[in-house]
Structure 1
């Protein structure tokens, strides 16, 4: 006897429509800026009348919320699959490089994930959960490294320092490498502060 389907065709159609709307929203954000995103522009992008769009997203902030959740879910999924070298110092370099490359690949996505550029927007608990999961995963991978005794302040320092490289790169040399080329030196300074042995060549002599 066949079991009861867990998802109807209407559910699948609605989910597909939401994915299409989200993809269009990112395209509009890349074209007009995150703050320039409008539901009308997104509706035009997918060939939908604005009232129909409201059946999927009740407001622009609801759309931002879904975009925030999608971005952090993608980050967490990719980070979970990231293979790190056994050498602790090299692994710290790998974690830093992964974040910087992800953050510099898409400006609107980075702004929504890591900066407060949308007035009065606060992600819902459901959408905030993937970002918490990603941070917990990062801390867990740090603590799994041999010889790393990680305190909360160490995590804060790493996030602030590596995030600063991203911010400086986007602000002063988008598309270049003026600041990202210094990432290796920065991570070595952080690794020195954590007391990690130098067992691999430094990235930026």
Structure 2
């Protein structure tokens, strides 16, 4: 395959994934059909198989893309925040948590696909899951900059922010009731790990 054809194929695959997200935002992830997706990108359903061998493969591509985009967005936000994590771990953690929570709320289908089992019977393929593994490794690095390195503390952190996200999206998807608890949650988290002697 020539370089030009390979680039065109990548662009078409990207267009299909973008269209899948539009449909998921409109109708929900579980309602995604290949027929609707093909119509959204101006092709017939059988033609999709030239780019993805199944709907499962499309979910895999969406999953991996969502993790990469979330990770890249946090990196960009961190660069603009100008917070010294060693000097002010409270501000660093609260900033990152609030950024992540706001992204989850901004695209509930992305949140659902990345962090819940919203698609019956679907699990990301090993290749797609690598994006999640890389994103979590980045989260560990980000926590370590604030002195959070103990495995139990990392687990407590993910449980805390995941709980805020789940409550916000389940109970007030367009509000800020649980997002506005971020500062308190971070203070509780830091106080807890300080009391047990870590970090």
TM-score scaled to structure 2, two decimals?
Answer: 0.90
Aligned residues: 189
Name the counterpart of 1:33: 28
Distance 1:169 1:149, change over 3 A: closer
Larger radius of gyration: 1
User: Which residue of structure 2 aligns with residue 167 of structure 1?
Assistant: 166
What's the offset of the Cα at 1:7? 5.8
Higher helix share: 2
Counterparts in 2 of 1:73 and 1:174: CA distance versus 1, 3 Å = same
Is 2:168–2:179's contact at 8 Å kept on the other side of the alignment?
A: yes
SS in 1 for 2:121: coil
| Structure 1 residues 1-205: aligned runs within 5 Å | 8-81=3-76, 82-83=78-79, 85-86=83-84, 87-145=88-146, 148-195=147-194
Cα deviation 1:86-128 (Å, max 9, x = unaligned): 1122111122112111111101010000001112211122211
Cα deviation for residue 194 of structure 1 reads 2.3
Cα RMSD of the aligned pairs, angstroms, is 1.6
Is this contact kept in 1: 2:102–2:179, CA < 8 A? Answer: no
Q: Write the deviation string for residues 170-205 of structure 1: whole angstroms up to 9, x where unpaired.
A: 111111112111111111100111229xxxxxxxxx
Which stretches in structure 1 are left out of the alignment for 5+ residues? Answer: 1-5, 197-205
Which contiguous aligned blocks of 4+ residues in structure 1 show a shift greater than 6 angstroms?
A: none
- Mapped to 2, the partners of 1:70 and 1:96 lie a distance apart of 20
Give the direction of change, closer, same or farther, for the CA distance of 1:41–1:149 in structure 2 (3 Å limit): closer
List gaps (5 residues or longer) in structure 2. Answer: none
